[in-house]
Amino acid sequence: MSGITRRRALGAAAGAAAGLAAAGAAHAAIRTTDPRPQHAPGGATAVPGSFDEVYQGRRIQGHPTHHGGHGGGRHGGHDAGYTVRVDGEELHVMRNADGTWISVVNHYEPRATPRALARAAVTELQGAALVPLALG
Amino acid sequence: MTVRKNQAQLTADEKRRFVNALLALKRNGRYDTFVTTHNAFIMSDTDNGDRVGHRSPSFLPWHRRFLIQFEQALQSVDRSVALPYWDWTADRTTASSLWAADFLGGTGRARDGQVMDGPFAASSGGWAVNVRVDGRTFLRRALGAGGRQLPTRADVESVLAMSTYDAPPWNSASDGFRNHLEGWRGVNLHNRVHVWVGGQMATGVSPNDPVFWLHHAFIDKLWADWQRRHPDSAYLPTAGTPNVVDLRESMRPWTDVTPADMLDHRPHYTYDTAA
């Protein structure tokens, strides 16, 4: 009954990443990208600091991610350099070139900070649980 | 020959056949493979890394190929079906026939966003959301929530007037037609429509809502309109660009298609308007 879940979607993502790996150096460069600040054209600078709060009854947390065992491989192909959790489940996030942020539940509407992104996700979820991100 | 029509012009029989083909692909499992593929690219396409389906020059040829593949799947069920397009500059309210119960159904209810009418409502039993980012298995929408407005024809014209296809750094920060059409910069066309629909359409698993295909069929038509308006402009970049699909490089997940192969839609389908 569960059908195709996010887990299998991520399996496909890993497959896509494997195809990319075959392409060689480009993928290796992504996997080893330094998660520290990237200076984007729009003037984006530092990775934001950590946060931990209860918002609309749900615990949201965020912190910069340091590489080495976490990040790209587990997420299907890239490392945002930052991890956001809602009630302990990881929310897939991505940083745009101008320093704004999007998540998999608000993919087409950038927010200024990971905290704003986490709050937007809580609003969107209306109490629903995130589907676990972890592979395997 | 496949002719893609404005959804507002479809006959009752054309709507019925389109809906039935969607439901058949959902039943046999093929529909969800398209959702899975889309989300995989949404999560892996990044501004500073490899990017193919989104936030890059290949956004347009990638989705053209993706829609052709989906349309072929529909036609394996019913050969008469073609993808309709939704001109959201013209049909821009929740009262549009697009959202009627005999076609896509309407917006979601306030409490949980659940779509309550039409063939894709959870109560119809034929449209479980299986590839999902949260626990909810029903189709959701929030059409125009928060007073959001769809792009106007003037917004579209301002983007069609841009003569350069795309520009460095070839991502969400780029100037040029592609990124303004995609919406990461400027008046915001494509991204804004995803947000206006809301529900799954605002997420990485946006193809869970059948309107995904009608939205992208219109984005695809705008690319064709742009080509006619700028016959001397072409796909960029042409070669040697790290992390970006150049004109004659193959696009994942396919191994046999390049942007150059997708520039002319006419071998695959035509439009109901002069093209």
What local confidence, expressed as pLDDT, does residue A78 receive? 62
- Give residue A17's pLDDT: 39
pLDDT tens digit sequence for B244-261 = 999 999 999 999 999 999
Cβ contact A53:A87 at 8 Å: no
Q: How much of chain B exceeds pLDDT 90, in percent?
A: 98
Torsion B109-B113-B117-B123 (CA) sign: negative
Sequence spans of domains, chain B: 2-92+140-271
What three-state secondary structure class fits B182?
helix
Give the domain B2-92+140-271 fold.
di-copper center containing domain from catechol oxidase (1.10.1280)
pLDDT at B196: 98
Residue type, A22: A
In the beta sheet, which residues pair with residue B3?
B270
Residue B22 has a CB neighbour count (10 Å cut-off) of: 23
Residue A122 near residue B150, CB atoms below 8 Å: no
- Rounded to whole angstroms, the Cα distance separating A96 from A78 reads 13
- Tell me the mean pLDDT in the region B182-209: 98
Of B50, B130, B134, the CB nearest to A4: B130
Tokens of B177: 């037609």
Residue B157 pLDDT exceeds 60? yes
Count H helices, E strands: chain B? 8, 2
pLDDT tens across B81-132, in order? 999 999 999 999 999 999 999 999 999 999 999 999 999 999 999 999 999 9
* Residues B137 and B122: beta-carbon distance below 8 Å: yes
Mutation for B interface: A33, A108, A130, A133, most B CBs within 10 A: A108
A98 Cβ under 8 Å from any chain B Cβ: yes
Determine the pLDDT at residue B273: 87
**CB within 8 Å of B125: residues ≥ 6 apart:** none
A44 touches chain B (CB under 8 A): no
With CB atoms and an 8 Å threshold, state whether B184 touches A20: no
Q: What is the mean pLDDT of chain B?
A: 97
Q: Do A42 and B173 touch (CB under 8 A)?
A: yes
Closest CA to B261 of B66, B53, B68, B65: B65
Interface confidence (ipTM) of the complex: 0.93
* Pair type for strands B3-4 and B270-271: parallel
Check residue A25 and give its pLDDT: 32
Percent of chain B clearing pLDDT 70 (strictly above): 99
| Contacts of range B236-239, beta carbons closer than 8 Å, 24 or more positions apart | B236/B57, B236/B164, B236/B165, B236/B166, B236/B167, B237/B57, B237/B166, B237/B168, B237/B170
Contact of B129 with B138, CB cutoff 8 Å:
yes
Average pLDDT over residues B65-86: 98
pLDDT at A13: 43
Count Cα atoms within 13 angstroms, Cβ side, for A105.
Answer: 28
When pLDDT is cut at 50, 70 and 90, the band that residue B264 belongs to is very high
| Chain B residues touching residue A6 (CB < 8 angstroms) | 131-133
* A4 interfaces chain B, CB cutoff of 8 Å: yes
- Along the 136 residues of chain A, how does pLDDT read in single tens digits? 344 444 444 444 444 433 333 333 333 333 333 333 444 444 455 789 999 999 999 999 999 986 543 334 344 446 678 999 999 999 999 999 999 999 999 999 999 999 999 999 999 999 999 987 643 2
Helix or strand run (H / E) with residue B56? none
Residue A33: its pLDDT value, please? 35
CA B139 to chain centre: 17
Structural domains of chain A sorted by starting position, each given as residue range(s) with its CATH number in brackets? 51-125 (3.30.1880.10)
- The model's pTM is 0.88
